[in-house]
Structure 1
């Protein structure tokens, strides 16, 4: 093997490796995952001889409410889907119709990455909790759903015990509900949409009346759908760079061995 052939082979091996490492580095800055928001505790643990903080993120508790189809549902019926939640009531004359319309846009425009076949986004569940459950019974929720042509397959309008709904909103979603000041008949509610991951951790708050923030929410939903479960690491997790370098060194060794054998012959 002459020197030109040897150098050519080295370049052929080096280019893919260098390209991979560059793309791997740049990939860390492309599509930053939504951060976690609320934690319960922080534990100090020792990993590989180093003291690190292990954060226990707040987990939204289970619930049992009735949806517009008169089905009693809870987190067990959602499974490991990504969740987008908001709070409304059907007699609201101001922000709620617009909030529902923007949620409808999310439901209509988020699709799976499949190019053909069923592209319905089964990886995301929309939840709208009524803050006026005493008057928002199932017929009222059904009427609201029909008005906005809501697909119940992955969007539930929920009613139930008022104390439980308010506890969920204030103490777990950590939403600062504001008084409607007479405009919305004095009910407390908010225009925030809340993004929740598969582990029931809050990953974002977005003003549901702001189209820019709703677009950001759509992008974050897609990003979360690509997020890997940190508790389920693959065999090569965190080892790809090392494997690439080992592969590169092995190829160089093989090339040198072939070169030396041919030279001695």
Structure 2
């Protein structure tokens, strides 16, 4: 037998097309060498062209999943994705408190505040946005909004790097320990600049913008790889540096799928098949 790898939990919705959500999280966890566990919040009906429907799980069922895996298997780091409703968000906050997940507990908690579609449309009702700000952000070790989510959460329209710094300060005021403002949606910038802020200083992470429309699951993959790095003992700036490099490589290896937007791919981490066969 081999040693048990770090155990990481994702609390998010399922993507029937396999490109984002729980499915993207598990792919990234595997590629990062951690054992992935799930608390599913919703089941979506979707493909590469878009979402056709959403069925939200009962809030108590979501909470029970979190507590079940934490009490038996253990969690070294956790992340969220789509949480769907204010009721689910409140249940997640309480369950995480019960098992010591969060900035004041011993387990790092990455909150990816999924609240906007790929086209920038609002996915959460206003009461759920409020619950993100008041229930989850104060418990978060790190939050990872994209620019559309920044706009929904703060009202700040980020058009340049100064706006991004203003947004990071506004988000930090909601109570997370760290804020990562992702610049991938600033399409006129040839560089993708992400800003990490701890309330005092900024860390900058840049990568060349990649010319592809296949970016489905990119935010999930970045948050999952950062969470994996935290579970493996990296400090926050180093974990974000790893996540930035990991998602950049995954975007570079994205592939078409169906008639719409294809997923980013962490499969570049896998050994080529001939090498595996030679070892058997």
Normalising by structure 1, we get a TM-score of 0.24
Higher relative contact order (CA 8 A, sep 6+): 1
Normalising by structure 2, we get a TM-score of 0.23
